[in-house]
Structure formats: structure tokens, C-alpha cells
Structure 1
Amino acid sequence: MAKTSTESSYTARHLSVLEGLEAVRKRPGMYIGSTDSRGLMHCLWEIIDNAVDESLEGHGDAIEVVLHPDGSVEVRDNGRGIPVDEVTALGLSGVEVVFTKLHAGGKFGGGSYASSGGLHGVGASVVNALSARLDVEVDRGGQTYAMSFHRGEPGVFDDSGSADPESAFAPFTNHSELRKVGKVKRGVTGTRVRYWADRQIFPASAVFSYDELITRARQTSFLVPGLQLTVRDERRMPGTPGEHGPVEEVFRHDGGIVDFVDFVAADGAVTDTWRLSGQGTFSETVQQLDGQGHLRPVDVERTCQVEVALRWGIGYETEVRSFVNIIATPKGGTHLAGFEAGLLKSVRKQIDANARRLKMTGKNGKERIEKDDVMAGLTAVVTVRLPEPQFEGQTKEVLGTAPVRSIVTRVVDTELTNLLTSSKRAEKAQSAMVLEKVVGEMRARIAARTHKEISRRKNALETSTLPAKLADCRSDDVDRSELFIVEGDSALGTAKLARQSDFQALLPIRGKILNVQKASLADMLKNAECASIIQVIGAGSGRSFDLDSVRYGKVVLMTDADVDGAHIRTLLLTLFFRYMRPLVEAGRVFAAVPPLHRVEVVAQGKRKGEVSYTYSEVELTRLLSKLERSGRRYKEPIQRYKGLGEMDADQLAETTMDPAHRTLRKITMTDVEDAEMVFDLLMGNDVAPRKDFIIAGAGELDRNRIDA
């Protein structure tokens, strides 16, 4: 009976229909994703993208975004201005239609926009619905028109002085009014939109991110060459660049996506930045309004323009950014799939054509180049422009237009093949280096797979696969074991006597290893010292590095406490940072800290003689002063260690290797981008910045501290 009662009480009167912008306010997440700072920024992107669409059509070249102290944000552009004439079917001005009607705009196939970021006609109206106040001004036809809205409803605010969302508001009743508030010079056009986010929708913790805004403005300036974007922050918010006063940044990049790739790329270049461009057409059936306002299916021919900028670097990290009509598609889509397919197809053809030179005809001939081999070290920006692209949802993160894939594949395959087969000297040399790099990545992948097939720890009968110079430990407990990479054979002899062979392994290296920041992957793999280190650690290298396969819990770099030792340690860190970065990120790479001085205190009376070690000149001075104050004498001259080989086994064990007494410095990566810049500055191919760095720091050098 209770069930029947419940069913009968649920009737049609319980169903509600949300009219107009009510649906947006009731379910804002459906339109902007969330109501936190991400949703707040999404609203701002909608307004900015409308201005950018004007620039894409060649109707404007300047956009300004201002974050006001009262929490509002303003977007200004010099485009054509929103239409101010009346939409006959609705009896409303174009301005009011754009800001109050869902799915209304000039991007539904009417010919106003060949390609645009806005597609669904909900951007401006959604922002209006979620704003406590929105003011719009339009310069058009020699006049300035204005209109205000309160939570999506048009009306008039009773402002006294400055605009305020809390001012008394009178909504229009019988008819709306687009006010004329001034005049402008003939030919001057543009739109200004200022709005205050509604705190009934967005919590107080949701704020506009200056850093995100700067990143997006810079990105857009790359994608629309010639467009100048100005971002100004007047909020004086603590923790922002404008904390102590208004701050303004201006972006303009006439080089387009080629400049974008050069900006994004972090490693040394193997090739120049290449631009690939082309277009293709496809047909699709769309619904369009006829003269009576009814939707009718129409077959239309679309043109898809493709533009790609790419370059290969010496590293193995891949950075590919994709865009559709300047809208970022972080999750890819058909255009990105087409790019990867065209790239792989073109490179495979050239490797097959050069198989003999690349030594692909022997035992490696059965191996096939895979996508990851080609993508290693690649930095690329992929952009397509087409009318009415199909996205998955209003957030536009994935492109779904199917024909775009084949068009992009054909353009990339054709254009890249032309570059890889070019007879020009520079491009021919770069093409050869790219093919060698891809083949090197394939061989590194095969080697990594081979390493995985071998168990982590070899027993005494199976150690023949490891370098003969490795003095391995007996323990198979990875967490407890340690690998010491030792500078020179002389230090190795002492270290063998000083180590605890149960869990401490030793691998000697001869002097300074290859600088892998400058060298190619193939050169690194050919280098005996680099190959030995990678083989002993046992987890592969580059993108195929497997942290779970590392054979030791700690890797300790043990070099002399002098300039050469510091240089060797830097070269080793460059190898780990470039090809075994997960090991560094996991905090498993350390630098040993050997002492600089040995001070032997003379026995006096009942006091026994003792030995102290110091690790810096400051520490030595402090120790000697302490001894003098207490009236104790020490043997002179004080022993100054210039290398690990000068210590005997007991001294090395006590100061540097024994876990109970030693000091280790953990190598950390707090900021990957800064680390990339430092390694590239100190170890990269470009000499001029390194020279400037040395000259700039020359004034801080104390000549008396130079060991000569």
C-alpha cells in the first residue's frame, strides 16, 4: 500500500521546466565544469575567446584583460563589436540576444566566422547568468552602446560614482533598452565586457589566477600571430606579482607556432624548428536554419587548415600541444591521432630507405620502429582550423570530427617526407641525425626489454653479464644495498678495503665521462663508462627506464673534494638527470662528502690524543680556534686531502662510507624547469650564456682559495 501511495503522489505537477538562464544557475557544473577557481577561470576564457575569434577573422589586433581591485574582470577588444541592430524574430537587440539567450551567436554556419573557438553559443550567456553584474559596451557605427545585467536579467543599476554589483537594480519590464552613452570616431569599433562573478555560485575561495591568465595569454599570442594581448592586475593580492602595485604584461609573437615550439622546448636541438602546413576538404551533413526558422539537413563542404611546428631535441621527453581554432585540446582527439600517424608513417619510410646506412639490415632488421621511438625528444605544436568542429562537451578538451584525422595524416606525411628527403645541406644533415636518434631510441627500448628479462640480482655464477670492474655486494636486498660510483682506480683499491661488502658495491669510472647534455643518444650508448653505469643499475635508460628494476637502493657518487671531482660529479648528475631521472626524483641518488682536512690533536696529561676531520675551510678555522682557546696543541702541517686515494681504508670508512658516521647529500629536484635551465646553461651546446654566467660570477671569486 505504501508503494502505491508513493507512486500516485508522483504526478506531472512535480516536473519542472527551467526556462532561459535558470538552467545555468541551477546546474552550473554542466556548463563550466565546476564552481571553484577552475570554473571561474573557464568563464573568463569564454569572454576572452570571443574577442580572439574576432582577431582570427582579421577584425582586431588588440585585446586587454584587466583584473580590477573590486574583484571584477574586464575584457576589451577592437573587433567589429557585437551587433546592435534588432534580431527580428525576437524583437531584441543583438547585444541582449548574445548575453541572455542560450545557443545564440554568429557561429552556427551563418558565414560570420570561418573558424572560431566558440561553437555552442552559450559562452557569453553562461557568464552573464553566473555574474552578480555584467556591463557591456559596444563601439559601432560612430556610437557607444551600453547595457547592464543582474544575474542574467537586463536592467539598470542605480550607480552613484563607480559601478557596484550591490547597487539598486531595476529590471526592464515592458521592453529592453540598449542605451547610447557616447560617440566615437568613424571606423572605431570594439567591445568591452566587465563582470562580477556571483558569490552565490562561486565561493569566496575561488579567485582569478594571474599565472594561469599569463600562461593562456602567452599561448594565444603564439597561436594568433600579430595579436597583442595585454594583461593588467590591479588587485594587489598577496602572493601575486602585483602585490605591491599594478603589474602589466604584454604578449605579441609574429612568428606564430614556430616561436611557440622554441619557447616550450627545454633541451638542446637536433633539428631546426620545422613548419608543416597544408589543408584538405571533407563533406558533412549539418542542420541549418532555413528562411522560416526551421532546421533542415544540408550537405556542406568543409575546409580544414593544418599547421604544425616541430623539432627534435637531444632528450627523450615528449612535449606535444594541440589546438583547434586556438582552443587547447589537452586530451587530444582526431587531429592529434592524425599527427602521430603521419609522423610515424613518414619516419618509417625514411628509415626503411636508409636501412643499410642505419645498420637496420642485421639482427635489428626484425624490429619495427614504434611511435614512442619517433616521439622521443620531440617538441611540437599541432593546430587545425575548421568551421564548426565537433567537441566532446562544452569544455572542448577532445576533438571528435572524424575526417580531420586523415587530412592531418596526409599533410604531415607529405610535408615531413619533403623535409627528410631534402637535398639542402642543412636539412639533409638534420634528417640524418633525426633518423639516427630514432633508431637509437629503438635500440635503447630493446636493451631495456632485455634488462627486464634478466633478474634484478645475479648470483655468483651469473655475474658475467655485468662489467668485470664492478665489485658487487652479496646482499640481494635492494632497499639495503648501495652502489658507490668511485672516481679512479686508485680510490677503488682503498674503497674495496673500506666498504662493507655485504651491502656496498663499487663501480670505478675513469676520469670524466661523456657530457650527455651535448651528445646524442647513440653517442651516449656507445660510451663505455655511461653504458657500464646503465648496465650496472639495471633499469634501462630514457623513457624506458623502470624504477622497479633498479638493482640498488642508493646510488652514491664518491668523487674527490676538488674542482675535478666536482666536475665529474656534475657530469654524472647530468647523465642521471637526462636518462635516469625517476631515480633522482625518487631521492635515491646521493653525493658522498669526503673530508678536506685531518687534524691530529696531541695528547696532554690525562687527555688522549684524538683525530678530527673538517669538511670546509670555515669548519677548520673554527676547530683550530677552539683548540687554541682550550690550550691544546695539534700536529703541523695539517693534512689536506686532495683526493680519496690519499686516505687509508680506515679513514675512508670512518668519514665517507660507514653509515654510522658518514654524511651524504641527497640530490633533489624541487623545480624541474629550473633544473633543466641550469643543466642546459652549464652543460649544453650554447657557449655564450655559459661564458656570461662565468664572467658575472668572477667578482665573487677569492683567488686565495684556488688550489695551485
Structure 2
Amino acid sequence: VLTVLHSGGKFDNESYKVSGGLHGVGVSVVNALSKWLELEVKRDGSVYQQRYERGNPVTPLTVVGKTKKRGTKITFKPDREIFEVTEYSFDTLAHRLRELAFLNRGLEISVTDERTLKASLFKYKGGIVQFVEHLNENKNPIHSPVLISDEKEGTVLEVAIQYNDGYTENLFSYANNINTKEGGTHLIGFKTALTRTINNYAVTNNLLKGETLTGDDIREGLTSVVSIKLANPQFEGQTKTKLGNSEIKGLVEAVVNDRLGTFFEENPSIVKKIVEKALNAARAREAARKAKDLIRRKNALDIGNLPGKLADCSEKDPAQCEIFLVEGDSAGGSAKQGRDRRNQAILPLRGKILNVEKARFDKIISSEEIRTLITALGTGIGGDDFDLTKARYHKVIIMTDADVDGSHIRTLILTFFYRQMTQLIENKYIYIAQPPLYKVSRQKSEQYIKDEAALNKYLIKIASEEVELWDTEKRSFIKGDRLEKLLSKLVTYKGLIDQISKKGNDPDVIATLAQANIEKETLREKNTLESIIERISERFTSRRPGDSINVEITSDEEHKAYKLEIDIRRGGVQQNMIIDEDFISSPEFREIKSLSPVRTGLGAPPYKVRAQDKEHMVESSAGLLDFIMEVSKKGLNIQRYKGLGEMNPEQLWETTMNPETRTLLQVTLEDSVIADEIFTILMGDQVEPRRKFIEDHAREVKNLDV
């Protein structure tokens, strides 16, 4: 199972009723791509363990303890020799697991991020009905969700429909729980049936009044989930983003026609609201068409067809061209002077552009700033009029100030691109410039620094030149590169200690365990554990005489080992910790151990430091870091930088526009459900979801402009 590629029982007609096919990445592939993988199985009263390294077993399957539980736990570490990025995104994983819980009514899934203790439990008795309610959570629905479900010849179809008073269409389709982002026959069948059924009802009941409704009109404000489960899915391509089974189109069309028609006959008030909304969309579409025709005629008459305030570049190959959307005329002027005229274009944006989240399409293209932007980009806008191949620049860079207004303008621009030119994001044309956050003046020189991490690195470099640390082994002071490396590791170590402390773990206990180099095997050595307990108690007695600590060694039957149960009282508040095999094996604690000052060469406290010909004694590694940072800041003027206009053209070029020295963030669309939710919360009509979002994320803010 863990070392050989196989079908996983998908074709024995017993293990799986439906599956996603044979192209998935199974556990054997995960094993092969991991530096190590550990398996733990609880079954038949025993706990079994086995370890693999780069796909090969390095230990036999061994019984390590007894249990009454049942289940399998797989722990693996991605191989850095294969993957450049090995960080996992909790939000991405949680979203996919929540999606599975919605699509499989009654299934319970829990997920916990042990790095931050962020946790979620997903279970939805309402299935995809709750899914559309979730998607419309921050919008204004105009009716309760409609559920259509049927099973024909082993194929199960579920469709949930709910309209809101917004202008955006949100359609999500799934085949065997796989998100078919490009749709397919099931989605085509649904769209066809929806358009036909609503038009038929509207004509029969004389609701159109001589007007016509297109599919786009009918789907304005629609939120819908289409889920189909079939025995032999045919996907187009390895990524399974499009379903190709031809017979499914007719099946979906027939079921939706029948059930939706019946629902409309029984609920005329709901269908009248939907038709009225579609008629308004049709009128807006016609107004937008006339506005677009006017723009086209105007552009045809304009010399050069480009907006007057656009400073274009001379390069004709769009793949080599980039355009900066710059906040304000002042910064726009500096950018025009500082740019590389060969391939960099500048478009200054005056003030805040229209919030397209709250506007219909006809109003959007009536906005002067947005029309200027559309013309400059060259792609056109809206449905058939948008043509990515006509894009005049393959890098569209949003460059705003690092203050509240700048963030708001950036969000408005991103909302426009997400709602009206999604293909620019999907094809990775959109970027965000990263102007420096700090300006540091030292003696007669000035330096712009990107962010807080870079500032700390800069301060450590200065400190390593001005401060000396006593090396107890070599009996001499150290400085320069060696001290800089030690201090950099100490910064990372302190950050990890702070992070793990937020989960309810005591920093002094963690530091002592790391210093003692405790391993999983240590948990089977009672004498060694007793020695570690003494060290923990000594540390508490010397550093925190007002606090009390009690540590007990108890049995861990599942792993035939011991564990430490720790109770700490601080000012009347009790704190409990358990140090067991899971804790010792956690990635965070492993990294803390590797960066412990004792292991990196910094040594154990107290530390002797010499600065400006004076010697100082520092009692802890945290105190050492604070002392050194204070010394390095002397003689420096650190200014938090906010506006692009504060830099002259040369500085703007060097820090933010020069491809050799700048930092750009590429805007990507990983999950359309999450993206829709965020834009709706931040830019929509409802205040309460936005307030809750701010409250939930307030603690993550490090620099707030008031």
C-alpha cells in the first residue's frame, strides 16, 4: 500500500461506489516524495508503527503498545530536495475539507493546525443546500435555497439554487467530489435547462413584455452548486477540471427541466422575483452595450486611441511590457520620470475607483477611471468583448502607498480585476508592487528596507560589527560574520518559542527541554526524565520565584513509554502541559531543538557582552537579543515609510520599479469560493460581516495607521 503504485480497490465494484479515476496521487507517491514518513495504525487492540525514508522502509511494522481505539495516522515531511516550498496552507486544506463535508451530507471532518492551534470541524446535515447558504452568507438572498436531487441508472444528481440581490454569478460544479472548475457536460446541461425553464415560464405567464432574456441575464445574482456522482467519469485532462461524459448533459437537463418547472408552478412569487431581476439585467446589458459602442466609436476617433494620462512604453511585444497602476498624480509623476521608458508604462489613478462589488455592469463602464483603465489594457471587457490576446501588457503592477488609503485603493482595483477581468488573474498577469516599509538613516547614508524581517536582519548586521560576545570555549570575544549567524539563528529560535507559547506551552519549559535535547527514546528512560524535571524546577526557582510548577511522570500505554504532565500556577492562573511522543515529534519542537543556543554554539547563559569598550552580563538568550538590538539602534533614525510620493524618481526606481532590485507579489487565484467570500465581505453592502472580519484579524496587524 505504501510503496507500490496501485488502483486502491477502485475497480473491484466493492470498495468504492464512485471514484475520481486512477490519476490521483496516492499515499505511495506521497511516501516516495517525502524525506520521511511514519505510519501508526490502531487496530485489534494493538498500536503498530513503521518508518520510511524517501519511500523505503527503514523499520519493520512493529507493535509498540495497546489501545482500544481504531484508526490510521500518517505523518510525513516533504523532501526539500524535490520541493522548493514545503509550507502547508491551513486555509487551502480547510477549504477543501469543508467542501467535501458539504458534498457528502452528514460526513464529519476535523482539521487542526498544530502550528497555531487553528481548528475547524465540518459537518453539514443539509449538504449542498447549506453550501449555497454558506456562499450567500454575506449577501442578501431573495428566496430560500431550492434543492433538486435524483438518481438514474446509478448516477446521483444534486443541484442547489439560490438567488441574491447582487450582480455576480457564482456557479460551482463537482463530479465525484472533484471541483470541475472548467465545468463540463453537467454544467452545460444545468445552464441550458435553467435558461429554457425560466424563459418558458416567463413567456407562458406574459412576464417578458416584449423583451428577451439571455442565459447571462438569467444567471445574474445566481449562486448554485451542481454535484453529480457517476460510476465511470470521463475527465478532460490530468487535472480533471472538466467533465466529458456526453450522456450526462441530457440527464441533468431533463431532471432540472422537470423539477424546476414544477417548483416554479408551485412558487410563482419566487420565479417572478427571478424574472424581474433578469429583466433588469437585460436592460443594464443593453445600456452597457450602447456605452461600449460609444467607447469604441470614441476610441476610433481618438489619435492613438490611448488615454492622455497614460505614459506608454516603446516596446511593442506585450510579453516584454509592464504597466504600473500608480496611486495619485504625484507618485505617478515620479514614476514617469524614474521608469525604464523602453518597456514600462505608467497610468496614474486619481482617487479611489468605483467599487464594482456594489455596481451593475452599465454603471461600471460609465466610470471615467475604469474606462481609462480598460482602454489602456486593450483587452476590452465583458463576456465576448474581453480578449486576453489583445492585452498590451503581460505585467499589470498595482503600486499604491503603504497606508490605509493605499490598501483600500489596491483592494478596489483587485475587486475590479476579479469581478470583471478574472482571466488576467488566472493567467498571472496581475502583480502588486512592494514599496519599502522603512527608511533608515545612519550617519550620512539612507537605506530603504522592505519589511520588519529585513529590518531585523539589518540591525543584526550592524550589531555584529559593533558588539562582541564572549566565547566560553575559545576564551575570546567573537564578532562579525560568526556573531551575525548566531544572532540570526537566535531571532528564529525566539520567534518559534513565542509561537509555541501561544498554544499554552510555557517558554521556560520548552527552552529547558530543547536544551536537554529530549528525544522520543528519552521518554522510555525514567532516570533521564527525572534529571530533566530537576532542570525545569531549577530554572523556575531561579527565574520565576513567584510561580509554582509540578511535574509528574505518567504512563503512555499506546507507545510503551512515559509522558510528562506539567501543572504551572502563575498569579492564580493554572496552565497544563503534556510532553509526550506527539509533542516531541512535532515539527516546531524539532526546529526549536536544532536552534537551541546550546546547540548552535551560542552556549548557555549568562552571556558576557562587550559594547563600546564596556562589558555587560546578560542572564538569558532573550535578554541578549534585546540588549543587542538596543545597541544597534543607537545612532539610527528609523522612519516608517508610508507614501510613494516621499521618494524621488531615482529612489522609486531603485526600490520599487527596477526589475533587478524590486520585490513583486504575483496575484493568483487558488480558490474561487474563498476569493468570492473575501471580496463580498470586504467590499459588499453588509457591515456586520466586515466588522467580524476586522475583529477576527485585528491581532494579526503589526503596523496600524490611525
Q: State TM-score, norm by structure 2.
A: 0.49
Greater relative CO, 1 or 2 (CA 8 Å, sep 6+): 2
